[in-house]
Structure 1
Amino acid sequence: MTGFKLISNRILVFLIAFLFVGNLQAQTEPFRIIGYMPSWKDISTFNKTFDFSKVTHINYAFQNPDASGNLVSSNAGLTDLVQKAHANNVKVLVSIGGGSAANGVVKENFQNLISTSEKRANFIHKIVVYLNNYKLDGLDVDIEGPAINADYGAFIAQLADSLKPKGLLLTAAVGWGADKIQNETLPLFDYITLMAYDYTGNWDLTRPGQHSPFWYAQKMINDWIARGVKKENLCLGLPFYGYGFYKSAGSYGYGKILSLYPDAGSKDQVGDTIYYNGNATIREKTKLAMANASGVMIWELSQDAPGNNSLLKVINQTVDSLLVVSPVLVANQEFGLFPNPAKNYLIIADLVSEHPAKVEIFNLDGRVVKSQDVKLEDRKSRIRIASLSSGKYICRITTPKGVYSKKFVKE
């Protein structure tokens, strides 16, 4: 029963990804829900209690090299994590880097290991051995800040040459220092996750405020699309933590915040003063990602609150609420929808059905704003849309042979 539910959820997520992208043939992945799980947390308890059906990918973070390129960080619970994830059709990647690797010995190790083609090849070989030993699905590169140098692009290129023929994923988390990553490197990643948080924090108590505001998420998506990354390859980072200033200085997981302030879920700021993302902001950011990216990324899963207070539950409910469920989706049938943009009428062309078809128009919140039955006998049908507000919509047509969808703009 669990397997059937999981498959159903994946199919539904795939459908909404198609509808927002507008082209099923270009959509090769479902809407991604990616969660980081730190290796230094209690992985054993996590494996026993976590609902793996709520995510599509888990990044095991972090596994960093010694001076010889051996990945020597803790692997506690990793084998069981991979088994549980794979049983639920969830992919597991290992992440290298992290903020703490941007300086000191780990940074020096990275930069030395990728400094020449031969050294890169030796390091990548050890990465591949590690991935194979733990049956992992790929590598997440989270090299940040000063650790990104002129050899980064060559390292990624050699990684792609090695991992992709083996069917392994290559992804990146970007934020601090990402301006040093050359644009020609970006297409080598299967997808990129945007660390749209830590705009400020408890390291600078002179700048109190929201560390992950909504405008910052919008800006990061727009900036990376401007750099040439397709929205199908972007995932928006969401924080399951906050920062305190003044009397509450420090870092707080979301679960901890709720334990201190039971009504924190309905807010983004509590106490004196802790800033974080509550339910409403997480919900709106998920909608933003569904419309303008291809997934969300979470730092990090163990910081969530349990049960009905879970932010991960909010993400899943938001995705589910925006789903347009169709029993059969026909991708290869082309039909015309014009004019587009449209003002008063939409004309459906080149779609023929012997039986009446149901036409539904959805807004980008997933709500039906118009529904009517039409005959598609003469290859053209007209739908009045004058009463709709200006904006983007999805026209879905259901016939006995399948379901067809296209996006349009109402002027």
Structure 2
Amino acid sequence: MKKQPVLTLILLILGVICAQAQYEFPDCATPWDPNNAEHTQGDKVSYNGLNYEAKWYTNTTPGSDGSWQNLGACGDGGLGPDYDGPQRIIGYLPTWVEGYDIANEFNPEVVTHVNISFLMFKQNNNNYNSSDFASIAFDETQEYKVDSVLFDLGVLQKAQQKGVTVSVALGGATDFAFIWLMDKYHNNDQKLNEIADLIINYMDEKGLDGVDLDMECWWADANITGTSDQGGRVRGSKWGDSDQGPHPAAIGLTRLAQKLRQKDPSKLLSAAVFGTSWYGNNYDDELVDHLDWLGLMTYDFTGSWDASPSGPHSALYKVPLNTYPGQSANNPIYSAQDALEYWMGLAEPAWNHDGGFSVPKSKLVLGVPMYGYDFSQQKPAGNGFVYVPYKDIVAEFPNAPTSYDANDSRMLQGNVTGNGRNIYYNTPKLAGKKLEYSRDYGHQGLIIWELTQDVDYNSGGSLLKAINDAAGNTDVNQSPNVSWVAPVNMETLVMSSFTPITLRASASDADGTIAGVSFEANGSQVTGTLNGSYYEAQVTPTAYGELTLKATAVDNEGASSSQTIKVTIADEAGNLPPVVNVTNPSNGEVITQSELSEIRLSAMVTDDSDVPNVTFTINGQAQSSTANGDEYYALWTPAAEGTYSLTVEATDSESASTIVEIAFEVKIQTSGCDAPQWDAATVYAAAGNIVQYNGKLYSNQWWTQGETPGQAAVWEFIEDCNGQSDPCGEAWQSGKVYATSGTEVVYENKVYRNKWWTQGDNPAAGGVWEYVRDCSATLSYGTGGSGSMAYPNPFTSSLNMRVKVERKGDVSLKMINAQGVIVIDQNAGRLDQGWYEFSLDGASLKAGIYLYQIEINGEIIRSARVIKE
């Protein structure tokens, strides 16, 4: 459902009269009779819900050539009866949004249906023309993410308990494997059956209510050889051109939908399609015969391509010409009304269609975007303007929910201009009006992209609340709040023997009462008892080490929320369990190899005593490990591509143990670089991901999505794919746009950093570029190699640390006491790769056991116990 460029050669502006917008039509003329097909100029007939007038003598079928003038719809317009059920509110919930707590923030009661986005097919290589580009199998990483949302975060159970249906959205804007399979096998009954069985089995296995077929990739991808733009297909025209018919991939999609419906009629079956004809013409409107609803992506009518007019990207009503900059008959601003008319066949014939499709109005839903476009900022990579989530718009402009576009006489479309911004978006009033429009004109409801971008439901500016209010859903229950009182997160609890711990939490509910609070300790559940203002329970630890505790509050209507903390159980003698930090691979990492080869699994293990036993286990199979100081490693060769689980268990000499488990994936990469291609839709959450882009390797320094390597500061250049690299970084290029301030380049053996946007400005001239250092200079101290990372240990006043910075970033050092309180927080600044030595002043600290941590860009890269004497 991610948005894609709408090319400027789209339909001529639609000119449907107001009566058609309200779906009211004149009476139908005498039906055309194939047995009496001869007509002369001026004769009027009706055919397939349309009135026609003969331009001259003709004996052809109306609409089949240029001899008939289409006068428009008649009777009921061929639209059929109104949808007579409650309006559907269909929300898409993505798996990749950083900072959104799905387990607690997602409230299923604000929607009637939720689509988890996206499950994708497995892509085997980057050559679209290869015979094995895709497999009839799901991408394991995407399946893992969807499963995590469904089960680990409780979305499936929580939604179905409230009567909200849960479907998986299959496809999306980067699933080229989906469109390849539909294209290749569109006429292969056996293969389509295999694909249908794969989908049905997945839904049955997961307990899902349905699937949303979201086949979007009609465009070229620079990272996939053989892809090309498929827009502009001709489906008839205003001059009577012949209909090229749907794209073969769309025929495959229709046949797949037919098989899914036949195999299990009880499952919900829907699809999301482009609203206008540039890409919309590729689809087969017979697809709708097998669907419960067809979702029109009525957004991105502006903003998502370079030559876009500056105006609303998701208007409800038609936008008159000459209203906004850049708008013209050949580059119009479309609306939901335009898209609905096109899909129902009511549009004015244009250069590449003769009025649109013939979908019954009762099968259609229209879209509400929870984002806007900032037309003051064009993306440097040539792919439109900056995308801004609605909640970010409101955070910067608190009056945004009621700031209306001055050109919109209805005061529906949102627009804020200030702070150098010019943002268009949907207001709560417009979101509610779209629901009312859908209901008033016989459609099924709304699709929403996407649920994580709204503001708080009761904040007064929520799009979801406006939609529910318009639908009459005014009794939406809000989830309760729960928070820990004792123990506190990261606290160390010292005991000579395992004794009960009192768990204490507070809970409240804004629109109801608390039905109960329960606690979990490493998976075992105990019911809390109200004691004064708090809920309490007791658990007894069974082992020294890390203990995970979870508090869950349930309100009087069954809604719940949880909060999880971790504490450490230490014995009275001062022994603490080992600290285990898996250093390779990282959790969730995708390891790409040209062929299956040896991988070095490693972990740093520290303790206040000896650690005689460290075991590595891959998918349940033990691996032989080797100690190298504090580092333990195992050499392992995967037998096949796939997702693997790595468990590292460390047990010290006093029997305290720690277990850390991570998951990673192994893939075969067929390109020249031993790294995956950069993907604009992928979230690179942790720093250190290595990707390939335009023949070069880059590593991200912090969280990123959609920022182009070589142009955004988040991506650090490593080397060319031929192995050549500059030890200081990437050389300055006179023709390149450096849009993000803080980007470092190399010029004449010196490193410079830009202060603002620049192109063509010589770094040595100063101004926008500031000198950083000579390439020959080094910021590294100490010596490389292994050795003690913190010394002396125990320490009396100062603790010295030798740190190897593997990637450039902001480095900080922390000291945490036994109660989990940070007692020293020292910022070391932004450092390049290399070895460094630091000293923490601990003279004022009390004697005891402490944990020191080293972080780069907020990620812990080193953690160990030390003793202050």
User: What amino acid maps onto 1:34 in structure 2?
Assistant: I
Q: Name the structure 1 match of 2:112.
A: 56
Per-residue CA deviations over 1:293-331 (Å, capped at 9, x if unaligned) read 111110100011113221000001112189xxxxxxxxx
Maintained 8 Å contact 2:372/2:388: yes
More deviation, 56-65/119-128: 119-128
More deviation, 288-297/38-47: 38-47
What TM-score do you get using the length of structure 2 for normalisation?
Answer: 0.32
* Larger RCO (CA under 8 A, 6+ residues apart): 1
Q: Name the structure 1 match of 2:446.
A: 296
* Residue of structure 2 aligned with 1:256, choices 361, 386, 392: 392
Give 5+ residue unaligned stretches, structure 2. Answer: 1-80, 123-133, 220-245, 318-334, 346-356, 379-384, 404-413, 475-869
Structure 1 position 137, deviation (Å): 0.9
Change (3 A) 1:262 1:164: farther
Q: Name the structure 1 match of 2:193.
A: 121
Q: Percent identity?
A: 30
* Residue of structure 2 aligned with 1:174, choices 267, 273, 276: 273
Structure 1 position 35, deviation (Å): 0.3
Maintained 8 Å contact 1:62/1:96: yes
1:219 lines up with 2:321 in the alignment: no
Q: 1: distance between equivalents of 2:463 and 2:288? A: 30
Q: Secondary structure at the match of 1:211?
A: coil
Change (3 A) 1:26 1:165: farther
Structure 1 position 159, deviation (Å): 3.0
User: What amino acid maps onto 1:251 in structure 2?
Assistant: Y
Change (3 A) 1:39 1:221: same
* Residue of structure 2 aligned with 1:86, choices 155, 160, 173: 160
Q: Name the structure 2 match of 1:38.
A: 94
Q: 2: distance between equivalents of 1:314 and 1:42? A: 25
Q: 1: distance between equivalents of 2:82 and 2:438? A: 17
Per-residue CA deviations over 1:29-84 (Å, capped at 9, x if unaligned) read 42100000112236982232222112110011111111222222122221221111
Q: 1: distance between equivalents of 2:449 and 2:100? A: 19
Q: How does 1:6-405 map to 2 (within 5 A)?
A: 29-41=85-97, 45-66=101-122, 67-72=134-139, 73=142, 74-75=145-146, 76-79=148-151, 80-101=154-175, 103=176, 107-112=179-184, 114=186, 116-146=188-218, 149-166=247-264, 167-175=266-274, 177-204=279-306, 206-215=308-317, 216-226=335-345, 227-247=357-377, 249-267=385-403, 268-271=414-417, 272-292=421-441, 293-306=443-456, 307-308=458-459, 309-320=461-472
Q: 1: distance between equivalents of 2:209 and 2:258? A: 14
Structure 1 position 27, deviation (Å): 5.4
Per-residue CA deviations over 1:324-367 (Å, capped at 9, x if unaligned) read xxxxxxxxxxxxxxxxxxxxxxxxxxxxxxxxxxxxxxxxxxxx
Structure 1 position 205, deviation (Å): 5.4
More deviation, 154-163/107-116: 107-116
Change (3 A) 1:88 1:119: same
Change (3 A) 1:251 1:180: same
Q: Secondary structure at the match of 1:265?
A: helix
| Bigger helix share | 1
| Bigger strand share | 2
Per-residue CA deviations over 1:160-184 (Å, capped at 9, x if unaligned) read 3334552111111111622122233
Change (3 A) 1:202 1:218: closer
Q: 2: distance between equivalents of 1:125 and 1:297? A: 27
Maintained 8 Å contact 1:94/1:139: yes
Maintained 8 Å contact 1:202/1:244: no
Maintained 8 Å contact 2:183/2:252: no
How many matched pairs? 297
Q: Name the structure 2 match of 1:337.
A: none
Change (3 A) 1:251 1:115: farther
Q: 2: distance between equivalents of 1:218 and 1:26? A: 16
Q: Secondary structure at the match of 2:195?
A: helix
Per-residue CA deviations over 1:371-401 (Å, capped at 9, x if unaligned) read xxxxxxxxxxxxxxxxxxxxxxxxxxxxxxx
Q: 2: distance between equivalents of 1:61 and 1:87? A: 20
Per-residue CA deviations over 1:221-260 (Å, capped at 9, x if unaligned) read 2222223322221111111111111247411111111001
Whichever of the two has the greater Rg, that structure is: 2
Structure 1 position 201, deviation (Å): 1.2
Maintained 8 Å contact 1:47/1:84: no
Q: 2: distance between equivalents of 1:95 and 1:164? A: 20
User: What amino acid maps onto 1:170 in structure 2?
Assistant: L
What TM-score do you get using the length of structure 1 for normalisation?
Answer: 0.66
Maintained 8 Å contact 2:253/2:287: no
